[in-house]
Structure 1
Amino acid sequence: MLNHFMELSPLTQTIIATLFTWGMTAIGAALVFAAKAFHQKLMDSMLGFAGGVMIAASFWSLLSPALEMAQEDDVAAWIPAAIGFMLGGIFFVGIDKLIPHLHPTSQVADAEGYQPTNRKRSTLMVLAITLHNIPEGLAVGVAFGAVAADLSSASVTAAVTLGLGIGIQNLPEGVAVAMPLRRDGMSRRKSFFYGQLSGMVEPIAAVIGVLAVTAIEPLLPYALSFAAGAMIFVVAEEVIPGSQEEGNKDLASMSLMIGFTVMMILDVALG
Protein backbone atom coordinates (compact mmCIF):
# COMPACT_ATOMS: atom_id res chain seq x y z
CA MET A 1 0.00 0.00 0.00
CA LEU A 2 2.85 2.38 0.84
CA ASN A 3 4.46 1.66 -2.55
CA HIS A 4 1.22 2.59 -4.29
CA PHE A 5 0.97 5.74 -2.16
CA MET A 6 4.52 6.74 -3.20
CA GLU A 7 3.49 6.61 -6.86
CA LEU A 8 0.82 9.27 -6.38
CA SER A 9 1.42 12.95 -7.05
CA PRO A 10 2.60 15.06 -4.08
CA LEU A 11 -0.68 16.99 -4.14
CA THR A 12 -2.71 13.77 -3.93
CA GLN A 13 -0.43 12.45 -1.18
CA THR A 14 -0.94 15.68 0.75
CA ILE A 15 -4.72 15.52 0.45
CA ILE A 16 -4.82 11.89 1.59
CA ALA A 17 -2.51 12.57 4.54
CA THR A 18 -4.52 15.55 5.76
CA LEU A 19 -7.84 13.76 5.26
CA PHE A 20 -6.39 11.24 7.71
CA THR A 21 -5.47 13.97 10.20
CA TRP A 22 -8.93 15.50 9.82
CA GLY A 23 -10.43 12.04 10.34
CA MET A 24 -8.49 11.64 13.59
CA THR A 25 -9.98 14.92 14.81
CA ALA A 26 -13.41 13.54 13.95
CA ILE A 27 -12.69 10.30 15.84
CA GLY A 28 -11.75 12.34 18.90
CA ALA A 29 -14.92 14.37 18.61
CA ALA A 30 -16.96 11.17 18.13
CA LEU A 31 -16.03 10.06 21.63
CA VAL A 32 -18.78 12.43 22.75
CA PHE A 33 -21.23 9.67 21.71
CA ALA A 34 -19.48 7.04 23.85
CA ALA A 35 -18.83 8.91 27.09
CA LYS A 36 -20.86 11.25 29.24
CA ALA A 37 -17.73 13.12 30.36
CA PHE A 38 -13.96 12.93 30.34
CA HIS A 39 -12.03 13.23 33.58
CA GLN A 40 -10.05 16.48 33.68
CA LYS A 41 -6.79 14.61 34.32
CA LEU A 42 -7.33 12.57 31.16
CA MET A 43 -8.06 15.71 29.15
CA ASP A 44 -4.95 17.44 30.46
CA SER A 45 -2.74 14.43 29.80
CA MET A 46 -4.06 14.16 26.22
CA LEU A 47 -3.36 17.84 25.58
CA GLY A 48 0.12 17.47 27.07
CA PHE A 49 0.75 14.47 24.80
CA ALA A 50 -0.38 16.52 21.79
CA GLY A 51 2.05 19.28 22.73
CA GLY A 52 4.93 16.82 22.92
CA VAL A 53 4.14 15.43 19.48
CA MET A 54 4.04 18.93 18.01
CA ILE A 55 7.37 19.93 19.56
CA ALA A 56 9.13 16.79 18.31
CA ALA A 57 7.60 17.15 14.84
CA SER A 58 8.72 20.77 14.71
CA PHE A 59 12.35 19.75 14.99
CA TRP A 60 12.76 16.33 13.39
CA SER A 61 10.25 16.76 10.57
CA LEU A 62 10.66 20.48 9.86
CA LEU A 63 13.65 22.34 11.31
CA SER A 64 16.21 19.58 10.82
CA PRO A 65 15.35 19.07 7.12
CA ALA A 66 15.32 22.86 6.64
CA LEU A 67 18.88 23.08 7.98
CA GLU A 68 20.00 20.25 5.69
CA MET A 69 18.43 21.89 2.65
CA ALA A 70 19.95 25.27 3.48
CA GLN A 71 23.45 23.76 3.49
CA GLU A 72 23.16 23.42 -0.27
CA ASP A 73 22.84 27.21 -0.66
CA ASP A 74 25.51 29.90 -0.49
CA VAL A 75 24.24 31.42 2.78
CA ALA A 76 24.84 30.04 6.27
CA ALA A 77 22.45 27.15 6.94
CA TRP A 78 21.04 28.72 10.09
CA ILE A 79 19.86 31.90 8.35
CA PRO A 80 16.82 30.49 6.47
CA ALA A 81 15.91 28.35 9.49
CA ALA A 82 16.11 31.26 11.92
CA ILE A 83 14.23 33.68 9.65
CA GLY A 84 11.49 31.19 8.79
CA PHE A 85 11.11 30.03 12.40
CA MET A 86 10.70 33.55 13.77
CA LEU A 87 8.36 34.60 10.96
CA GLY A 88 6.14 31.62 11.76
CA GLY A 89 5.85 32.73 15.37
CA ILE A 90 5.36 36.41 14.50
CA PHE A 91 2.68 35.58 11.93
CA PHE A 92 0.68 33.60 14.46
CA VAL A 93 1.04 36.30 17.08
CA GLY A 94 -0.84 38.50 14.62
CA ILE A 95 -3.41 35.78 13.91
CA ASP A 96 -3.85 35.23 17.65
CA LYS A 97 -4.55 38.93 18.16
CA LEU A 98 -6.94 39.12 15.21
CA ILE A 99 -9.11 36.00 15.28
CA PRO A 100 -11.49 35.63 18.25
CA HIS A 101 -11.02 32.31 20.04
CA LEU A 102 -11.51 30.64 23.41
CA HIS A 103 -9.63 27.94 25.27
CA PRO A 104 -12.00 24.98 25.90
CA THR A 105 -11.70 25.29 29.69
CA SER A 106 -12.15 29.08 29.75
CA GLN A 107 -15.20 31.31 30.04
CA VAL A 108 -16.46 33.49 27.19
CA ALA A 109 -15.32 36.58 29.09
CA ASP A 110 -11.72 35.28 28.79
CA ALA A 111 -11.82 34.93 24.99
CA GLU A 112 -8.81 36.26 23.07
CA GLY A 113 -8.49 38.18 19.82
CA TYR A 114 -10.90 40.70 18.34
CA GLN A 115 -14.19 40.35 20.20
CA PRO A 116 -17.48 41.31 18.54
CA THR A 117 -20.31 40.98 21.02
CA ASN A 118 -22.30 38.29 19.20
CA ARG A 119 -19.72 35.49 19.27
CA LYS A 120 -20.96 32.19 20.72
CA ARG A 121 -18.86 29.96 22.97
CA SER A 122 -19.04 27.10 20.45
CA THR A 123 -17.74 29.31 17.64
CA LEU A 124 -14.90 30.64 19.78
CA MET A 125 -13.75 27.16 20.78
CA VAL A 126 -13.84 25.86 17.22
CA LEU A 127 -11.78 28.87 16.12
CA ALA A 128 -9.22 28.10 18.85
CA ILE A 129 -8.59 24.55 17.64
CA THR A 130 -8.74 25.72 14.03
CA LEU A 131 -5.84 28.05 14.79
CA HIS A 132 -3.90 25.02 16.08
CA ASN A 133 -4.60 23.09 12.91
CA ILE A 134 -3.46 25.69 10.38
CA PRO A 135 0.29 25.24 11.06
CA GLU A 136 -0.18 21.47 11.30
CA GLY A 137 -1.79 21.28 7.86
CA LEU A 138 0.80 23.66 6.47
CA ALA A 139 3.59 21.48 7.87
CA VAL A 140 2.27 18.36 6.14
CA GLY A 141 1.88 20.19 2.83
CA VAL A 142 5.38 21.63 2.98
CA ALA A 143 6.82 18.20 3.86
CA PHE A 144 5.28 16.62 0.76
CA GLY A 145 6.35 19.67 -1.25
CA ALA A 146 9.94 18.96 -0.23
CA VAL A 147 9.56 15.44 -1.62
CA ALA A 148 8.21 16.86 -4.88
CA ALA A 149 11.31 19.04 -5.13
CA ASP A 150 13.39 15.83 -5.02
CA LEU A 151 15.62 17.05 -2.21
CA SER A 152 17.96 14.51 -0.63
CA SER A 153 16.87 15.37 2.91
CA ALA A 154 13.17 14.77 2.16
CA SER A 155 11.33 11.47 1.76
CA VAL A 156 7.75 10.28 1.43
CA THR A 157 8.25 8.11 4.51
CA ALA A 158 9.26 11.13 6.59
CA ALA A 159 6.28 13.13 5.33
CA VAL A 160 3.93 10.23 6.07
CA THR A 161 5.43 9.95 9.56
CA LEU A 162 4.73 13.64 10.14
CA GLY A 163 1.13 13.16 9.03
CA LEU A 164 0.82 10.13 11.32
CA GLY A 165 2.17 12.06 14.31
CA ILE A 166 -0.10 15.03 13.71
CA GLY A 167 -3.05 12.69 13.27
CA ILE A 168 -2.33 11.06 16.63
CA GLN A 169 -2.29 14.39 18.43
CA ASN A 170 -5.43 15.57 16.62
CA LEU A 171 -7.51 12.99 18.47
CA PRO A 172 -7.31 14.80 21.83
CA GLU A 173 -7.97 18.11 20.08
CA GLY A 174 -11.29 16.77 18.79
CA VAL A 175 -12.13 15.65 22.32
CA ALA A 176 -11.07 19.04 23.70
CA VAL A 177 -13.75 20.78 21.63
CA ALA A 178 -16.60 18.27 21.69
CA MET A 179 -16.62 17.43 25.40
CA PRO A 180 -16.78 21.00 26.76
CA LEU A 181 -19.58 21.78 24.31
CA ARG A 182 -21.47 18.74 25.55
CA ARG A 183 -20.94 19.86 29.16
CA ASP A 184 -22.44 23.23 28.19
CA GLY A 185 -25.66 21.49 27.21
CA MET A 186 -25.20 21.15 23.44
CA SER A 187 -26.52 17.96 21.87
CA ARG A 188 -24.08 15.11 21.17
CA ARG A 189 -24.60 15.49 17.42
CA LYS A 190 -23.85 19.21 17.41
CA SER A 191 -20.90 18.73 19.77
CA PHE A 192 -19.44 16.18 17.37
CA PHE A 193 -20.09 18.41 14.37
CA TYR A 194 -18.25 21.38 15.86
CA GLY A 195 -15.46 19.15 17.14
CA GLN A 196 -14.66 17.65 13.76
CA LEU A 197 -15.19 20.97 12.00
CA SER A 198 -12.02 22.33 13.57
CA GLY A 199 -9.94 19.80 11.60
CA MET A 200 -11.35 20.82 8.23
CA VAL A 201 -8.75 23.56 7.84
CA GLU A 202 -5.83 21.12 7.71
CA PRO A 203 -6.38 19.85 4.13
CA ILE A 204 -6.85 23.45 2.98
CA ALA A 205 -3.66 24.68 4.65
CA ALA A 206 -1.76 21.63 3.40
CA VAL A 207 -2.75 22.19 -0.23
CA ILE A 208 -1.63 25.82 0.04
CA GLY A 209 1.69 24.66 1.49
CA VAL A 210 2.47 22.02 -1.12
CA LEU A 211 1.50 24.27 -4.05
CA ALA A 212 3.55 27.18 -2.72
CA VAL A 213 6.79 25.29 -2.21
CA THR A 214 6.55 23.29 -5.44
CA ALA A 215 6.02 26.53 -7.36
CA ILE A 216 8.91 28.34 -5.66
CA GLU A 217 11.48 25.72 -4.61
CA PRO A 218 13.93 28.16 -2.92
CA LEU A 219 11.19 28.86 -0.34
CA LEU A 220 11.44 25.33 1.07
CA PRO A 221 13.87 25.90 3.97
CA TYR A 222 11.95 29.03 4.96
CA ALA A 223 8.58 27.30 4.61
CA LEU A 224 9.61 24.30 6.71
CA SER A 225 11.01 26.59 9.40
CA PHE A 226 7.92 28.83 9.22
CA ALA A 227 5.68 25.83 9.91
CA ALA A 228 7.93 24.80 12.80
CA GLY A 229 7.83 28.28 14.33
CA ALA A 230 4.05 28.42 13.99
CA MET A 231 3.64 25.05 15.73
CA ILE A 232 6.01 25.95 18.58
CA PHE A 233 4.10 29.21 19.13
CA VAL A 234 0.80 27.31 19.30
CA VAL A 235 2.26 24.82 21.78
CA ALA A 236 3.72 27.54 24.01
CA GLU A 237 0.74 29.90 23.85
CA GLU A 238 -2.20 27.50 23.83
CA VAL A 239 -1.49 23.80 24.34
CA ILE A 240 0.83 23.79 27.36
CA PRO A 241 -1.10 26.46 29.32
CA GLY A 242 -4.37 24.72 28.48
CA SER A 243 -3.08 21.39 29.77
CA GLN A 244 -1.90 22.88 33.09
CA GLU A 245 -4.46 25.49 34.03
CA GLU A 246 -6.54 23.00 36.06
CA GLY A 247 -3.56 22.20 38.30
CA ASN A 248 -2.39 18.91 36.74
CA LYS A 249 1.04 20.30 35.89
CA ASP A 250 3.17 17.21 36.60
CA LEU A 251 0.79 14.90 34.75
CA ALA A 252 0.58 17.23 31.75
CA SER A 253 4.36 17.69 31.69
CA MET A 254 5.06 13.95 31.75
CA SER A 255 2.43 13.41 29.07
CA LEU A 256 4.20 16.04 26.96
CA MET A 257 7.45 14.13 27.36
CA ILE A 258 5.74 10.88 26.36
CA GLY A 259 4.28 12.55 23.27
CA PHE A 260 7.69 13.97 22.38
CA THR A 261 9.31 10.55 22.79
CA VAL A 262 6.67 8.78 20.68
CA MET A 263 7.04 11.27 17.82
CA MET A 264 10.84 11.17 18.07
CA ILE A 265 10.80 7.37 17.79
CA LEU A 266 8.38 7.46 14.86
CA ASP A 267 10.42 10.05 12.99
CA VAL A 268 13.84 8.50 13.59
CA ALA A 269 12.75 4.89 13.12
CA LEU A 270 10.52 5.45 10.08
CA GLY A 271 11.83 8.68 8.59
Structure 2
Amino acid sequence: MEWISNQNHVLLALAATLMTWAMTALGAAMVFFFKEIKQSVLNTMLGFAAGVMIAASFWSLLAPAIELAEDSFLPAWLVAAIGFVGGAGFLAVADRIIPHMHFNAKDGESEGISTHLKRSILLVFSITLHNIPEGLAVGVAFGAVANEMGSLSVMSAIAVAIGIGIQNFPEGAAVSIPLRREGLSRSRSFFYGQASGFVEPVAGVVGAASVMFIRPILPYALAFAAGAMIFVVVEELIPEAQSGNHKSTHLATAGCIIGFAVMMILDVALG
Protein backbone atom coordinates (compact mmCIF):
# COMPACT_ATOMS: atom_id res chain seq x y z
CA MET A 1 0.00 0.00 0.00
CA GLU A 2 2.90 2.35 0.73
CA TRP A 3 4.24 1.80 -2.80
CA ILE A 4 0.82 2.67 -4.23
CA SER A 5 0.75 5.86 -2.17
CA ASN A 6 4.24 6.75 -3.35
CA GLN A 7 3.25 6.07 -6.94
CA ASN A 8 0.29 8.43 -6.51
CA HIS A 9 2.59 11.21 -5.35
CA VAL A 10 4.88 10.66 -8.34
CA LEU A 11 1.80 11.04 -10.54
CA LEU A 12 0.82 14.18 -8.61
CA ALA A 13 4.32 15.57 -9.17
CA LEU A 14 4.00 14.74 -12.87
CA ALA A 15 0.58 16.41 -13.08
CA ALA A 16 1.85 19.50 -11.24
CA THR A 17 4.92 19.90 -13.44
CA LEU A 18 2.84 19.32 -16.57
CA MET A 19 0.77 22.26 -15.35
CA THR A 20 3.89 24.41 -14.93
CA TRP A 21 4.97 23.42 -18.44
CA ALA A 22 1.49 24.30 -19.75
CA MET A 23 1.83 27.75 -18.20
CA THR A 24 5.13 28.14 -20.05
CA ALA A 25 3.35 27.15 -23.26
CA LEU A 26 0.56 29.67 -22.61
CA GLY A 27 3.13 32.38 -22.11
CA ALA A 28 4.99 31.32 -25.25
CA ALA A 29 1.68 31.61 -27.17
CA MET A 30 1.84 35.37 -26.66
CA VAL A 31 4.14 35.39 -29.69
CA PHE A 32 1.03 34.95 -31.86
CA PHE A 33 -0.23 38.32 -30.61
CA PHE A 34 2.96 40.33 -30.16
CA LYS A 35 6.14 40.57 -32.22
CA GLU A 36 8.05 42.83 -29.89
CA ILE A 37 8.40 43.04 -26.15
CA LYS A 38 9.52 46.23 -24.45
CA GLN A 39 12.70 46.02 -22.43
CA SER A 40 10.85 47.36 -19.39
CA VAL A 41 8.20 44.62 -19.68
CA LEU A 42 10.81 41.90 -20.14
CA ASN A 43 12.78 43.15 -17.14
CA THR A 44 9.64 43.21 -15.00
CA MET A 45 8.85 39.61 -16.02
CA LEU A 46 12.34 38.42 -15.19
CA GLY A 47 12.27 40.30 -11.87
CA PHE A 48 8.93 38.70 -10.99
CA ALA A 49 10.32 35.24 -11.77
CA ALA A 50 13.34 35.96 -9.56
CA GLY A 51 11.13 37.02 -6.66
CA VAL A 52 9.00 33.88 -6.88
CA MET A 53 12.07 31.64 -6.94
CA ILE A 54 13.73 33.38 -3.99
CA ALA A 55 10.60 33.06 -1.84
CA ALA A 56 10.01 29.44 -2.84
CA SER A 57 13.64 28.62 -2.05
CA PHE A 58 13.18 29.59 1.59
CA TRP A 59 9.56 28.91 2.57
CA SER A 60 9.02 25.81 0.47
CA LEU A 61 12.48 24.25 0.47
CA LEU A 62 15.11 25.50 2.94
CA ALA A 63 12.85 25.94 5.98
CA PRO A 64 11.35 22.41 5.61
CA ALA A 65 14.85 21.01 4.98
CA ILE A 66 16.11 22.44 8.28
CA GLU A 67 13.03 21.12 10.10
CA LEU A 68 13.41 17.63 8.66
CA ALA A 69 17.13 17.57 9.47
CA GLU A 70 16.53 18.06 13.21
CA ASP A 71 16.68 14.29 13.71
CA SER A 72 19.86 13.89 11.66
CA PHE A 73 23.16 12.97 13.28
CA LEU A 74 24.55 16.15 11.70
CA PRO A 75 23.47 19.64 12.82
CA ALA A 76 20.37 20.72 10.90
CA TRP A 77 22.08 23.87 9.62
CA LEU A 78 24.96 21.79 8.24
CA VAL A 79 22.60 19.44 6.38
CA ALA A 80 20.84 22.41 4.80
CA ALA A 81 24.15 24.07 3.94
CA ILE A 82 25.53 20.92 2.30
CA GLY A 83 22.43 20.48 0.18
CA PHE A 84 22.24 24.19 -0.69
CA VAL A 85 25.87 24.46 -1.80
CA GLY A 86 25.54 21.13 -3.64
CA GLY A 87 22.57 22.43 -5.64
CA ALA A 88 24.35 25.64 -6.55
CA GLY A 89 27.49 23.68 -7.45
CA PHE A 90 25.51 21.33 -9.69
CA LEU A 91 24.05 24.25 -11.63
CA ALA A 92 27.46 25.93 -11.81
CA VAL A 93 28.91 22.81 -13.46
CA ALA A 94 25.91 22.54 -15.80
CA ASP A 95 26.33 26.23 -16.65
CA ARG A 96 29.90 25.56 -17.73
CA ILE A 97 29.07 22.42 -19.73
CA ILE A 98 25.72 23.04 -21.42
CA PRO A 99 26.06 25.45 -24.34
CA HIS A 100 23.72 28.43 -23.95
CA MET A 101 23.44 32.17 -24.47
CA HIS A 102 21.76 34.94 -22.52
CA PHE A 103 19.26 37.22 -24.24
CA ASN A 104 21.37 40.32 -23.69
CA ALA A 105 24.52 38.61 -25.03
CA LYS A 106 26.01 39.49 -28.38
CA ASP A 107 26.84 36.98 -31.10
CA GLY A 108 29.86 34.91 -30.14
CA GLU A 109 29.28 35.36 -26.40
CA SER A 110 27.85 31.90 -25.76
CA GLU A 111 28.71 29.98 -22.59
CA GLY A 112 29.39 26.31 -21.97
CA ILE A 113 31.31 24.01 -24.29
CA SER A 114 32.14 25.32 -27.75
CA THR A 115 29.38 24.68 -30.28
CA HIS A 116 28.13 25.72 -33.70
CA LEU A 117 24.47 25.69 -32.67
CA LYS A 118 22.33 28.60 -33.81
CA ARG A 119 21.83 31.58 -31.52
CA SER A 120 18.10 30.76 -31.19
CA ILE A 121 18.84 27.26 -29.88
CA LEU A 122 21.41 28.62 -27.42
CA LEU A 123 18.85 31.11 -26.11
CA VAL A 124 16.36 28.27 -25.49
CA PHE A 125 19.04 26.20 -23.72
CA SER A 126 19.61 29.14 -21.37
CA ILE A 127 15.99 29.06 -20.17
CA THR A 128 15.88 25.25 -20.16
CA LEU A 129 18.88 25.21 -17.82
CA HIS A 130 17.08 27.10 -15.08
CA ASN A 131 13.84 25.18 -15.53
CA ILE A 132 15.58 22.09 -14.15
CA PRO A 133 15.66 23.29 -10.50
CA GLU A 134 12.06 24.52 -10.82
CA GLY A 135 10.90 21.02 -11.76
CA LEU A 136 13.06 19.52 -9.01
CA ALA A 137 11.53 21.87 -6.46
CA VAL A 138 7.99 20.75 -7.29
CA GLY A 139 8.93 17.07 -7.43
CA VAL A 140 10.86 17.10 -4.15
CA ALA A 141 7.97 18.91 -2.45
CA PHE A 142 5.52 16.16 -3.45
CA GLY A 143 8.07 13.51 -2.48
CA ALA A 144 8.32 15.05 0.98
CA VAL A 145 4.53 14.89 1.34
CA ALA A 146 4.57 11.18 0.42
CA ASN A 147 7.09 10.58 3.19
CA GLU A 148 4.76 12.37 5.63
CA MET A 149 7.70 14.17 7.14
CA GLY A 150 7.73 17.60 8.73
CA SER A 151 5.10 20.27 8.24
CA LEU A 152 4.93 19.88 4.47
CA SER A 153 1.42 19.14 3.20
CA VAL A 154 -0.16 18.51 -0.17
CA MET A 155 -1.28 22.14 -0.17
CA SER A 156 2.32 23.23 0.45
CA ALA A 157 3.47 21.24 -2.58
CA ILE A 158 0.59 22.63 -4.63
CA ALA A 159 1.58 26.15 -3.56
CA VAL A 160 5.08 25.54 -4.95
CA ALA A 161 3.61 24.31 -8.24
CA ILE A 162 1.24 27.29 -8.48
CA GLY A 163 4.04 29.75 -7.76
CA ILE A 164 6.35 28.18 -10.35
CA GLY A 165 3.45 28.03 -12.82
CA ILE A 166 2.59 31.71 -12.36
CA GLN A 167 6.15 32.82 -13.05
CA ASN A 168 6.42 30.42 -16.00
CA PHE A 169 3.74 32.35 -17.92
CA PRO A 170 5.76 35.56 -18.33
CA GLU A 171 8.88 33.43 -18.67
CA GLY A 172 7.40 31.65 -21.70
CA ALA A 173 6.64 35.00 -23.32
CA ALA A 174 10.11 36.22 -22.42
CA VAL A 175 11.50 33.33 -24.50
CA SER A 176 9.22 33.17 -27.55
CA ILE A 177 8.85 36.88 -28.31
CA PRO A 178 12.61 37.63 -28.36
CA LEU A 179 13.04 34.56 -30.56
CA ARG A 180 10.52 36.09 -32.97
CA ARG A 181 12.63 39.24 -32.92
CA GLU A 182 15.62 37.05 -33.80
CA GLY A 183 13.86 36.23 -37.10
CA LEU A 184 12.14 32.93 -36.33
CA SER A 185 8.56 32.36 -37.45
CA ARG A 186 5.78 32.65 -34.88
CA SER A 187 5.18 28.89 -34.88
CA ARG A 188 8.87 28.07 -34.39
CA SER A 189 9.20 30.73 -31.71
CA PHE A 190 6.23 29.20 -29.88
CA PHE A 191 7.61 25.68 -30.26
CA TYR A 192 11.00 26.62 -28.81
CA GLY A 193 9.39 28.72 -26.09
CA GLN A 194 7.19 25.92 -24.78
CA ALA A 195 9.92 23.32 -25.27
CA SER A 196 12.12 25.21 -22.80
CA GLY A 197 9.67 24.23 -20.04
CA PHE A 198 9.26 20.57 -20.91
CA VAL A 199 12.29 19.64 -18.82
CA GLU A 200 10.24 20.47 -15.69
CA PRO A 201 8.02 17.32 -15.76
CA VAL A 202 11.13 15.17 -16.21
CA ALA A 203 12.96 16.84 -13.31
CA GLY A 204 9.76 16.74 -11.21
CA VAL A 205 9.29 12.99 -11.57
CA VAL A 206 12.99 12.33 -10.91
CA GLY A 207 12.91 14.52 -7.79
CA ALA A 208 9.71 12.98 -6.39
CA ALA A 209 10.78 9.38 -7.02
CA SER A 210 14.27 9.90 -5.59
CA VAL A 211 13.25 11.33 -2.22
CA MET A 212 10.35 8.93 -1.71
CA PHE A 213 12.45 5.83 -2.07
CA ILE A 214 15.60 7.20 -0.41
CA ARG A 215 14.13 8.98 2.60
CA PRO A 216 17.42 10.03 4.27
CA ILE A 217 18.28 12.32 1.34
CA LEU A 218 15.05 14.32 1.65
CA PRO A 219 16.42 17.32 3.63
CA TYR A 220 19.47 17.40 1.37
CA ALA A 221 17.24 17.24 -1.73
CA LEU A 222 15.05 20.13 -0.53
CA ALA A 223 18.11 22.29 0.15
CA PHE A 224 19.69 21.13 -3.14
CA ALA A 225 16.70 22.42 -5.11
CA ALA A 226 16.87 25.70 -3.19
CA GLY A 227 20.57 26.14 -3.94
CA ALA A 228 20.01 25.40 -7.62
CA MET A 229 17.21 27.97 -7.84
CA ILE A 230 19.17 30.69 -6.05
CA PHE A 231 22.10 30.07 -8.39
CA VAL A 232 19.81 30.65 -11.38
CA VAL A 233 18.40 33.83 -9.82
CA VAL A 234 21.82 35.35 -9.14
CA GLU A 235 23.59 34.05 -12.24
CA GLU A 236 20.93 34.71 -14.87
CA LEU A 237 17.62 36.28 -13.88
CA ILE A 238 18.78 39.30 -11.88
CA PRO A 239 21.63 40.31 -14.25
CA GLU A 240 19.30 40.08 -17.26
CA ALA A 241 16.49 41.88 -15.43
CA GLN A 242 18.88 44.72 -14.54
CA SER A 243 19.95 45.38 -18.12
CA GLY A 244 18.65 48.51 -19.85
CA ASN A 245 17.85 52.00 -18.59
CA HIS A 246 17.10 53.03 -15.00
CA LYS A 247 13.33 52.93 -15.54
CA SER A 248 13.35 49.30 -16.68
CA THR A 249 15.70 48.24 -13.88
CA HIS A 250 13.43 49.89 -11.29
CA LEU A 251 10.50 47.97 -12.77
CA ALA A 252 12.55 44.76 -12.51
CA THR A 253 13.10 45.46 -8.81
CA ALA A 254 9.38 46.09 -8.33
CA GLY A 255 8.61 42.86 -10.20
CA CYS A 256 10.96 40.96 -7.89
CA ILE A 257 9.28 42.37 -4.78
CA ILE A 258 5.81 41.50 -6.13
CA GLY A 259 6.91 38.00 -7.15
CA PHE A 260 8.40 37.39 -3.69
CA ALA A 261 5.21 38.61 -2.00
CA VAL A 262 2.97 36.47 -4.23
CA MET A 263 4.97 33.30 -3.55
CA MET A 264 5.20 34.05 0.18
CA ILE A 265 1.42 34.55 0.39
CA LEU A 266 0.76 31.36 -1.56
CA ASP A 267 3.05 29.27 0.63
CA VAL A 268 1.88 30.67 3.95
CA ALA A 269 -1.81 30.75 3.04
CA LEU A 270 -1.95 27.32 1.39
CA GLY A 271 0.79 25.62 3.38
TM normalised by structure 2 equals 0.95
Is contact 1:57-1:263 (8 Å) kept? yes
Give secondary structure in 1 for the equivalent of 2:196.
helix
* Partner AA of 1:130 in structure 2: T
Q: Which residue of 1 aligns with 2:9?
A: 10
Deviations 1:134-175 (A, max 9, x none): 000011110000011111321100000000000111112211
Is contact 1:138-1:206 (8 Å) kept? yes
Find out whether 1:253 has 2:253 as its counterpart: yes
Q: Which residue of 2 aligns with 1:60?
A: 59
Q: Which residue of 2 aligns with 1:88?
A: 87
CA distance in 2, matches of 1:73, 1:7: 23
CA distance in 2, matches of 1:249, 1:235: 15
CA distance in 2, matches of 1:123, 1:36: 19
* Partner AA of 2:75 in structure 1: A
Question: How far did residue 113 of structure 1 move?
Answer: 1.1
Is contact 1:54-1:231 (8 Å) kept? yes
Question: How far did residue 107 of structure 1 move?
Answer: 2.2
* Partner AA of 1:240 in structure 2: I
Question: How far did residue 215 of structure 1 move?
Answer: 1.2
Is contact 1:105-1:180 (8 Å) kept? no
Q: Which residue of 2 aligns with 1:139?
A: 137
Is contact 2:64-2:150 (8 Å) kept? no
Find out whether 1:162 has 2:160 as its counterpart: yes
* Aligned 1:226-241 pairs, distance under 5 A: 226-241=224-239
Question: How far did residue 73 of structure 1 move?
Answer: 2.4
Is contact 2:16-2:158 (8 Å) kept? yes
* Aligned 1:1-271 pairs, distance under 5 A: 9-116=8-115, 118-247=116-245, 248-271=248-271
Question: How far did residue 7 of structure 1 move?
Answer: 11
**Percent identical:** 57
TM normalised by structure 1 equals 0.95
- In the alignment, structure 2 segments of 5+ residues that lack a partner are none
Q: Which residue of 2 aligns with 1:3?
A: none
Is contact 1:104-1:176 (8 Å) kept? no
Question: How far did residue 94 of structure 1 move?
Answer: 0.6
Moved more, 243-252 or 177-186: 243-252
Question: How far did residue 36 of structure 1 move?
Answer: 2.4
* Partner AA of 2:60 in structure 1: S
Question: How far did residue 74 of structure 1 move?
Answer: 3.1
Give secondary structure in 1 for the equivalent of 2:71.
coil
* Partner AA of 1:264 in structure 2: M
Give secondary structure in 2 for the equivalent of 1:71.
helix
- The number of residues matched between the two structures is 265
* Partner AA of 1:198 in structure 2: S
Question: How far did residue 8 of structure 1 move?
Answer: 8.1
Moved over 4 A (4+): none
CA distance in 2, matches of 1:163, 1:184: 31
Deviations 1:226-254 (A, max 9, x none): 00000000000000001111232221112
* Partner AA of 1:261 in structure 2: A
